[in-house]
Amino acid sequence: MEKAIKLPKIGRVKAVIHRKAKPNWSLKSATISQDRDGKFYASVLYEYESHIIPIPVSDNAVGLDYVSSGLYVDDKGNVGSNHKYYRENHEKLAKAQRKISRMQGAKKGEEKSNNYMKQLIKINKIHRHIANQRLDNLHKLSTEIANQYDIVCVESLNMQAMSNKGFGNGRATLDNGYGMFLNMLAYKLSDRGKHFVKVDKWFPSSQICHACGRRHPELKNISIRTIMCSCGLIMSRDQNAALNIKIEGLCLLKMA
């Protein structure tokens, strides 16, 4: 694989190429940007024809219920990820930020010293490391799901509203990158001719017993973590919600 990119007026520049262009791809544009950690990135846009054959609707489906503590719980009770990348790196980041706060340039209007600028780059590298860890994990999880299932059903959530501090889990919501995860799932499933179904956010997935359909208004209280129905069902509210999301998603897909 090539280890350089050719830029107009500059020539060949050493680069890490993540994906090699194919002969039938047509180059449209390239955008060069510099991140806060000092590194340069080239985003290259290609156009190509893709003949995707849609996969027929089947029962090879999965429902995913969002949880801030682990990204998602699926209808089999599996948890997506327990990593908290920001929290795991918080001590290192806090130490670096305390150090820069004592340097010349930390105060408003004060001229920034060379040491301040060097420390700022170190802090930005920590942020980049956290972002890369999260991105790598989300790509692995979304690729695994897109390869395993033909239909993925999720709730249509407002992640911006959920990250609001008033919900009490803002940092956890931002840390797990669920919105980014859904975007990855959507395009990976589309590339494979598979189906990505969004269930309305007001659908009471956590309150309905998936086995008998009885509604449990008491489960509006999110501190109740288990559904116990008169039909005999005893299950984690998150797994039950994922099952309801899958059932509703399949109904929506078959009606479409």
Select from 63, 61, 191, 83 the least CA-distant residue to 130: 83
Domain with CATH 3.30.420 in the chain: 61-83+136-255
Q: What is the pLDDT of residue 161?
A: 62
CATH architecture of the domain with residue range 61-83+136-255: 2-Layer Sandwich (3.30)
- Point out the catalytic residue in the list 74, 75, 175, 238: 238
**pLDDT band at residue 30 using 50, 70 and 90 as cut-offs:** confident
Burial call 20-50: b when 16+ CB within 10 Å, e when fewer: eeeeeeeeeeeeeeeeebeeeeeeeeeeeee
- What average pLDDT score do residues 151-174 get? 68
Q: Which two tokens mark 41? A: 């990135």
Q: What are phi and psi of 19, to 5 degrees?
A: -150, 125
- What average pLDDT score do residues 230-249 get? 98
Is position 49 annotated as part of the catalytic site?
no
Kind and range of the H or E run holding 87: helix 85-88
Helix axes 90-101, 114-148, angle to 10 degrees: 160
pLDDT score of 2 more than 90: no
pLDDT score of 10 more than 70: yes
- Point out the catalytic residue in the list 75, 155, 175, 248: 155
pLDDT in tens, 115-132: 999 999 999 999 999 989
Q: What is the pLDDT of residue 209?
A: 98
Q: What is the pLDDT of residue 64?
A: 98
Q: What is the pLDDT of residue 201?
A: 92
pLDDT score of 18 more than 90: no
Cα atoms found within 13 Å of the Cα of residue 136, Cβ hemisphere only: 9
Select from 132, 154, 142 the least CA-distant residue to 62: 154
Q: What is the pLDDT of residue 157?
A: 86
Q: What is the pLDDT of residue 160?
A: 67
- Point out the catalytic residue in the list 65, 75, 175, 248: 65
Is position 238 annotated as part of the catalytic site?
yes
Is position 150 annotated as part of the catalytic site?
no
Q: Which two tokens mark 117? A: 């600028």
Select from 3, 175, 174, 165 the least CA-distant residue to 88: 175
Spatial contact of 150 and 66, defined as CB atoms under 8 Å apart: no
pLDDT score of 80 more than 60: yes
106 three-state secondary structure: coil
96/89 Cα distance (integer angstroms)? 11
Cβ neighbours of residue 113 under 8 Å, at least 6 residues apart? 103, 104, 105
Q: What is the pLDDT of residue 1?
A: 44
**pLDDT band at residue 171 using 50, 70 and 90 as cut-offs:** low
